[in-house]
Amino acid sequence: MIQIEEKSYTVEEVAEIVQQITGYIGDQSHHNTLTYSASDVYWVIRDLLRYINGRMDGEFVLTAKQKGTWQINYTDQKSGQRRTEEKRRQELRQTTDYLADQKALRRQRATQTATVRPLERILSRK
């Protein structure tokens, strides 16, 4: 029996528990005819790595080598920091562009309003 107690676990301990659980599931598989495709396995691993990457330094990346073949790579903490910094720069550029577009739109509306008012005066006189 595999027990999970209310305590903190190291990554190594979690990996051991996952191995025990997958071993237990494998032992029970002769009772079940369910099979998994490569894409099923991909999604299980992808979701696991997504959870792990949110809680660890560095990053595990699941990359496609060719159709139906994937590989897991680990990038160090510095690589993750560079990627995060680049994402921040991109968001800053998007915000700057948005603000510039809004400023131009306000100018355009102000110009349109200035030309509409004289027309209203001309039309109201008739």
Q: What is the mean pLDDT of the chain?
A: 83
Helices and strands of the chain, counted as H and E runs: 3, 2
**Per-residue pLDDT, 80:** 67
Q: Which phi and psi (to 5°) does residue 60 adopt? A: -95, 130
Work out the percent of the chain whose per-residue pLDDT is above 90: 13
* Reported pTM: 0.49
Q: With H, G, I as helix, E, B as strand and everything else as coil, classify residue 57.
A: coil
**Per-residue pLDDT, 100:** 95
Buried b (16+ CB within 10 A) or exposed e, 61-87: eeeeeeeeeeeeeeeeeeeeeeeeeee
| 5-63 confidence digits (pLDDT tens) | 888 888 888 888 888 988 888 888 777 777 888 888 888 888 988 888 888 877 888 88
| 50-108 confidence digits (pLDDT tens) | 888 888 877 888 888 888 788 888 887 677 677 778 889 999 999 999 999 999 998 88
**Per-residue pLDDT, 125:** 64
Amino acid at 118: P
Which residue, among 91, 18, 15, 85, has the nearest Cα to 56 in the 3D structure?
A: 15
Rounded Cα distance, 9 and 28, in Å: 26
